[in-house]
Amino acid sequence: MAKVELYSVVVPNKPGKGAQLLNAFKEAGINFVGVWGYPVGKSKSRIDMVAEDAALLKKAAKELKIELGKKQTAFHITGEDHPGAVAEALAKLAAKEINVYAAQALCAGNGRFGALIQVDQDAVKKAAKTLA
């Protein structure tokens, strides 16, 4: 488990806007651990990003004049894929009465999985101890 910084960008909900954003970061040399997006109302979308190098992401965003949302903390969990892999992490948090704000998980292939879990920001320290 690794504690990571998560940033979001709001873009118009139009074809190609997410591609433009991610291409700009690609040109700046940013490699992402995770990226996911979803609509926010009818006219906007939010793209959440976890970069391998958060400092480089912030620097690139400033240079590109891209407004990043407030820093949030998330947990990057990886491991051997098996039934219930993500449920086990969520159960640990639930047992300590830590509310999960969001979770994204995927099979990474070759028997591995990865997940990003967000908790209420006031519970980050408690969650870090729980997931360690």
Reference 32, options 11, 12, 61; nearest CA is 61
The model's pTM is 0.90
What domains sit in the chain, N to C, each tagged with a CATH number? 2-70 (3.30.70.260), 73-131 (3.30.70.260)
Q: Residue 74 in contact with residue 116, Cβ under 8 Å?
A: yes
Cross-strand bridge partners of residue 35: 49
The neighbour count for residue 122, using CB atoms within 10 Å, is 8
Which pLDDT value is given to residue 126? 98
Distance between CA atoms of residues 129 and 78, nearest Å:
17
Which pLDDT value is given to residue 49? 98
HEC-encoded secondary structure of 41-79: CCCEEEEEEEECCHHHHHHHHHHHCCCCCCCEEEEEEEE
Tens of each residue's pLDDT in the chain, 132 residues = 999 999 999 999 999 999 999 999 999 999 999 999 999 999 999 999 999 999 999 999 999 999 999 999 999 999 999 999 999 999 999 999 999 999 999 999 999 999 999 999 999 999 999 999
Amino acid identity, residue 110? N
Which pLDDT value is given to residue 32? 98
